[in-house]
Structure 1
Amino acid sequence: MEFTYLDNAATTPMATEVVDVISEQMANNFGNASATNYFGRQARKVLDESRHTIAQSINAKDSEIVFTSGGTESDNTAVIETALSRQKLGKHIITTAVEHEAILKSMAYLETLGFDITYLKPNRRGEITVDQVKTALTDDTILVTVMYGNNETGAKNPIAEIGNLLKDHQAFFHTDAVQAYGQEDIDVHAEHIDMMSTSAHKINGPKFIGFLYINDDIHIPSFVKGGDQETKRRAGTENVPAIAGFAQAVKLITPEVKDERRDRYFGFKQKIQEILKANDVPFEVNGPTDEHALNHVFNLYLPGIDRGVLLTRLDLEQFAVSGGSACTAGSLEPSHVLVAMFGEDSPKINDSIRISFGKDNTEDEIVKFSNKLVDIIKDLTN
């Protein structure tokens, strides 16, 4: 019996085509992309082609893509460097209470430096509204950072509307799109996004590589100090094999593939609910159940079922799911996302699990998982 992997919001397995590209680059293209010799030029060619592929995927210019070590560095760079470089214009920042830890811990650091942070609370669907941003906005606001889609509930935020609100304001607009990139149709210019963070390992690419989109009109210092790589916006020798692998992962997600996956994942959500209802298992969905959600993320509240016990039982039955963000899942602390949505006394905090789908999942796997979930819940409640 093989494991069924349903934790794709935490990370995804590398696609075979991505592994092949990385292996080929590691074996045959070892040059430093900053060197002017033959080997450096070959590496630079791969770097430039990869940057172009990725820029096209979000309707950006090649010059607006800055390669980083992943989502955390991209988030840290956008938030901390914007704050430190623009504090003479104001020290007010707007974010949400359901952001990834890479944003929230950056905010906590900035608070120690005297910055004033407004944390917008979501509604019970996990969403932030443009009116909340408008109400919180002041003349001193220098940055607004709102995630594109939540990594625990899948709730999407009105990014284009927020971008339109801010287009004539001094505040830079950043969005953490680590979960949304590759799932949603993103156009950074049409949505008036100034900066956007991504990570390759969420789209069947390699770990420890991502990019920060920075609009050409935006100027912030490099977070990593050192050489003049990435046109002086991110120091450090470029990881050409990983970048080439990232670009290959992007190439695999054609518009047709993206549409097919979204439809399939939505069907998976429907199938799980159908089987739970047919077996009289009580449950609630944490987050939107319509088009306002990332379809690959599904958060279930199962009343009276301790998530720790359930996750262990599922793991023993060779089904891999999670209790929330992979960055905090090993902690005894409750999900800050569910706390923000429902309050710290809600039973949903301890009785919810996250199921997240990937490109290799099949309906047969979902049916088997759902039936096993029913069996375990009935065993725990009898």
Structure 2
Amino acid sequence: MKLGIVGLPNVGKSTLFNAITSAGAEASNYPFCTIEPNIGVVAVPDERLEVLSTMFKSEKITPAVVEFFDIAGLVKGASKGEGLGNTFLSHIREVHAIAHVVRCFDDENIVHVDGEVNPIRDIETIELELVLADLETVERHVVKTERNARNDKSLRPYLELILKVKSVLEEGKMVRTMDLSEEEEKELKGLNLLTSKPVIYVANVAEDQIGVADENPHVIAVKDYADKYGCEVVPVCGKIEAEIAELEPEEKKEFLADLGLQDSGLDRLVKAGYRLLGLISFLTAGEKESRAWTIKDGFKAPQAAGTIHTDFERGFIKAQVVSYSDLVELGGLAEAKGKGLVRMEGKEYVMKDGDVVEFRFNV
């Protein structure tokens, strides 16, 4: 899973990225300090792995991961090249979803590119640039398709589709707001449109807003905006997340407890990304390793096996499956087998989050 962190300059994107990855991306109080996207790989929080590791006496734990792309701040006119905008927009095309960081704090020591904090205006500035960039892409594609459709009538349904997309973009709307069929979404996939990517809004709040972010008028405005489009809002405080990132696991738990929180904002952001993209994790466990594997919700057993190795999918025979909850409740694999809760599943089995699996294959 690849999440691109976007937003206007000086909204806290690089501070947030540093907290996520401890990668040391430069964070400075001036626009465009990030030019090439910094990329960090982040573990998906999953306490189940610790339990399985103890149960199976595993030598190591390997969590599922998310790649975060820290993309430089966009400004008004980015679609026309302002602020090196075309370069930044091309970086967004590489990600599966967008984490749109919105400044919801007031701080006279940190300049705002537009002079004042106004999260809805900021969101609309970014999204308009994405719309304009997509419109340029679609207009070029319409010209090419119209020319080819003169001699190939089979292209006419596709031409109608991209003309429909063009009209939506001309109204200033995002492609993701369209009611498209699964087939239409597949047909548009090759265009890799920016406004078709799902979005999480990350409301960056001040330190004194942690725990009461829902009362922040800026956050309320962002949530009202997001609700109109069925998007999720995750409030975080970049400064506090940066502090948490420096702590050991036990210290982190104590720190969060003192703040009255169960999860860090970053953990909630990663989990929101999973929900946004319709992802789940299945688990494998043994003496060498306990590991989480990321798959699309709805994957069948052979497809899941293929995420481990293509040979597993090609030569799939059966999957030995037990749910994590059953395994833990009974205390081990032998006990679960004794209760008949370890199943042999075939090619049509649809995987569930938390399935503990051993695949059998023959190549």
Taking structure 2 as the reference length, what is the TM-score of the superposition? 0.27
Structure that is richer in strand per residue: 2
Taking structure 1 as the reference length, what is the TM-score of the superposition? 0.26
RCO greater where, 1 or 2, for CA within 8 Å and sep 6 or more? 1
